[in-house]
Amino acid sequence: MNKKVLLIIIVIAGIVGWMFVSRKQTVLEEDTNTPVQASAPLALQNDLPNLPLLKPDQTKLSTKELKGKTIIIFFEPDCEHCQREANEMQKHLPAFANYNVYFVSPAPMDQMQQFFMKYNLSGPNISYAQTPNSNILQEFGAIPAPSIFIYSEQGKLVKAFKGETPMDNILPLL
Protein backbone atom coordinates (compact mmCIF):
# COMPACT_ATOMS: atom_id res chain seq x y z
CA MET A 1 0.00 0.00 0.00
CA ASN A 2 2.84 2.38 0.78
CA LYS A 3 4.24 1.77 -2.71
CA LYS A 4 0.88 2.77 -4.28
CA VAL A 5 0.73 6.00 -2.25
CA LEU A 6 4.33 6.80 -3.16
CA LEU A 7 3.62 6.07 -6.82
CA ILE A 8 0.55 8.36 -6.78
CA ILE A 9 2.58 11.18 -5.15
CA ILE A 10 5.32 10.80 -7.78
CA VAL A 11 2.78 10.86 -10.63
CA ILE A 12 1.04 13.95 -9.18
CA ALA A 13 4.40 15.69 -8.65
CA GLY A 14 5.35 14.83 -12.23
CA ILE A 15 2.09 16.24 -13.60
CA VAL A 16 2.44 19.44 -11.55
CA GLY A 17 6.07 19.80 -12.64
CA TRP A 18 5.14 19.24 -16.28
CA MET A 19 2.37 21.85 -16.01
CA PHE A 20 4.79 24.37 -14.47
CA VAL A 21 7.44 23.81 -17.16
CA SER A 22 4.80 23.82 -19.91
CA ARG A 23 3.32 27.12 -18.64
CA LYS A 24 6.76 28.70 -18.35
CA GLN A 25 7.57 27.63 -21.93
CA THR A 26 4.26 29.10 -23.15
CA VAL A 27 5.04 32.41 -21.44
CA LEU A 28 8.50 32.45 -23.03
CA GLU A 29 7.01 31.72 -26.46
CA GLU A 30 4.48 34.53 -25.99
CA ASP A 31 7.27 36.89 -24.98
CA THR A 32 9.24 36.10 -28.14
CA ASN A 33 6.24 37.11 -30.23
CA THR A 34 6.00 40.46 -28.46
CA PRO A 35 7.93 43.25 -30.16
CA VAL A 36 11.03 43.97 -28.11
CA GLN A 37 11.99 47.56 -27.44
CA ALA A 38 15.54 48.35 -28.49
CA SER A 39 17.95 47.90 -25.61
CA ALA A 40 19.85 51.04 -26.56
CA PRO A 41 17.64 54.11 -26.09
CA LEU A 42 17.42 56.49 -29.04
CA ALA A 43 19.74 59.05 -27.50
CA LEU A 44 22.54 56.53 -27.25
CA GLN A 45 22.37 55.86 -31.00
CA ASN A 46 24.27 59.11 -31.58
CA ASP A 47 21.24 61.29 -32.13
CA LEU A 48 19.55 64.05 -30.20
CA PRO A 49 16.52 62.56 -28.46
CA ASN A 50 12.97 63.65 -29.13
CA LEU A 51 12.40 64.92 -25.60
CA PRO A 52 9.65 67.52 -25.07
CA LEU A 53 10.75 70.45 -22.92
CA LEU A 54 8.85 73.19 -21.14
CA LYS A 55 10.89 76.31 -20.40
CA PRO A 56 10.11 78.69 -17.48
CA ASP A 57 8.36 81.14 -19.84
CA GLN A 58 6.03 78.23 -20.85
CA THR A 59 7.71 77.91 -24.27
CA LYS A 60 7.52 74.34 -25.53
CA LEU A 61 10.25 72.77 -27.64
CA SER A 62 11.87 69.44 -28.33
CA THR A 63 15.50 68.54 -27.87
CA LYS A 64 15.36 67.26 -31.46
CA GLU A 65 14.96 70.93 -32.55
CA LEU A 66 18.08 72.16 -30.74
CA LYS A 67 20.73 73.67 -32.99
CA GLY A 68 24.47 73.92 -32.56
CA LYS A 69 26.69 72.22 -30.03
CA THR A 70 24.45 71.12 -27.19
CA ILE A 71 24.84 69.78 -23.67
CA ILE A 72 21.86 68.25 -21.91
CA ILE A 73 22.22 67.86 -18.16
CA PHE A 74 19.62 65.84 -16.28
CA PHE A 75 19.43 66.91 -12.64
CA GLU A 76 17.30 67.10 -9.53
CA PRO A 77 17.52 70.35 -7.52
CA ASP A 78 17.69 68.52 -4.17
CA CYS A 79 20.33 65.99 -5.33
CA GLU A 80 23.66 66.46 -3.52
CA HIS A 81 25.60 65.08 -6.50
CA CYS A 82 23.83 67.56 -8.81
CA GLN A 83 24.60 70.40 -6.42
CA ARG A 84 28.31 69.55 -6.34
CA GLU A 85 28.36 69.20 -10.14
CA ALA A 86 26.65 72.60 -10.52
CA ASN A 87 29.11 74.20 -8.12
CA GLU A 88 32.04 72.84 -10.13
CA MET A 89 30.47 73.80 -13.43
CA GLN A 90 29.91 77.36 -12.22
CA LYS A 91 33.67 77.66 -11.65
CA HIS A 92 34.26 76.72 -15.31
CA LEU A 93 31.34 78.46 -17.08
CA PRO A 94 33.57 80.10 -19.75
CA ALA A 95 34.54 76.61 -20.98
CA PHE A 96 30.87 75.97 -21.83
CA ALA A 97 30.49 79.19 -23.86
CA ASN A 98 30.45 77.42 -27.26
CA TYR A 99 27.61 75.12 -26.22
CA ASN A 100 23.90 75.55 -25.62
CA VAL A 101 23.49 74.04 -22.17
CA TYR A 102 20.07 72.74 -21.12
CA PHE A 103 19.48 71.65 -17.55
CA VAL A 104 16.49 69.30 -17.65
CA SER A 105 14.49 68.00 -14.71
CA PRO A 106 11.02 66.77 -13.82
CA ALA A 107 11.16 69.05 -10.75
CA PRO A 108 8.80 72.02 -10.34
CA MET A 109 9.95 75.24 -12.02
CA ASP A 110 10.31 77.15 -8.75
CA GLN A 111 12.76 74.54 -7.41
CA MET A 112 14.80 74.71 -10.62
CA GLN A 113 14.87 78.50 -10.46
CA GLN A 114 16.14 78.40 -6.86
CA PHE A 115 18.82 75.91 -7.93
CA PHE A 116 20.00 78.24 -10.72
CA MET A 117 20.07 81.25 -8.44
CA LYS A 118 21.90 79.40 -5.66
CA TYR A 119 24.61 78.08 -8.00
CA ASN A 120 24.75 81.22 -10.18
CA LEU A 121 24.23 79.26 -13.39
CA SER A 122 23.45 82.03 -15.80
CA GLY A 123 24.41 83.07 -19.26
CA PRO A 124 22.90 83.51 -22.70
CA ASN A 125 23.72 79.89 -23.56
CA ILE A 126 22.34 78.32 -20.37
CA SER A 127 18.69 77.32 -19.99
CA TYR A 128 16.62 75.06 -17.84
CA ALA A 129 13.50 73.15 -18.73
CA GLN A 130 11.05 70.65 -17.35
CA THR A 131 10.05 67.25 -18.71
CA PRO A 132 8.28 64.32 -17.06
CA ASN A 133 10.31 61.36 -15.77
CA SER A 134 8.43 59.09 -18.16
CA ASN A 135 9.89 60.98 -21.14
CA ILE A 136 13.41 60.72 -19.74
CA LEU A 137 12.97 56.97 -19.20
CA GLN A 138 11.59 56.51 -22.71
CA GLU A 139 14.46 58.34 -24.41
CA PHE A 140 17.42 57.54 -22.15
CA GLY A 141 16.39 54.61 -19.97
CA ALA A 142 17.07 54.70 -16.24
CA ILE A 143 19.87 57.21 -15.69
CA PRO A 144 21.23 58.69 -12.47
CA ALA A 145 21.17 62.37 -11.61
CA PRO A 146 23.23 64.12 -12.72
CA SER A 147 23.79 62.77 -16.21
CA ILE A 148 25.47 64.85 -18.88
CA PHE A 149 25.12 64.28 -22.63
CA ILE A 150 27.37 66.26 -24.98
CA TYR A 151 26.27 66.57 -28.62
CA SER A 152 28.14 67.86 -31.65
CA GLU A 153 26.88 70.63 -33.91
CA GLN A 154 25.36 67.90 -36.11
CA GLY A 155 23.38 66.52 -33.16
CA LYS A 156 25.58 63.45 -32.73
CA LEU A 157 26.40 62.18 -29.28
CA VAL A 158 30.01 62.96 -28.40
CA LYS A 159 30.03 61.59 -24.86
CA ALA A 160 27.62 60.66 -22.08
CA PHE A 161 28.53 60.95 -18.40
CA LYS A 162 26.18 59.13 -16.05
CA GLY A 163 26.43 60.14 -12.43
CA GLU A 164 28.56 62.77 -10.79
CA THR A 165 31.61 63.37 -12.99
CA PRO A 166 34.74 65.42 -12.26
CA MET A 167 35.06 68.51 -14.45
CA ASP A 168 38.53 67.27 -15.42
CA ASN A 169 36.78 64.52 -17.42
CA ILE A 170 34.29 66.87 -19.06
CA LEU A 171 36.36 69.95 -19.93
CA PRO A 172 38.69 68.26 -22.48
CA LEU A 173 35.66 67.42 -24.63
CA LEU A 174 34.45 71.02 -24.89
Interstrand relation of 147-151 and 157-162 (parallel, antiparallel or unpaired):
antiparallel
Confidence band, pLDDT 50/70/90 cuts, at residue 98 = very high
As to burial, measured by CB atoms within 10 angstroms (0-12 exposed, 13-18 middle, 19+ buried), residue 142 is exposed
Model pLDDT, residue 29: 40
Q: Is the pLDDT of residue 15 over 60?
A: yes
- What pTM was estimated for this model as a whole? 0.73
Q: Is the pLDDT of residue 86 over 50?
A: yes
Reported as a single tens digit per residue, the pLDDT across 55-71 is: 999 999 999 999 999 99
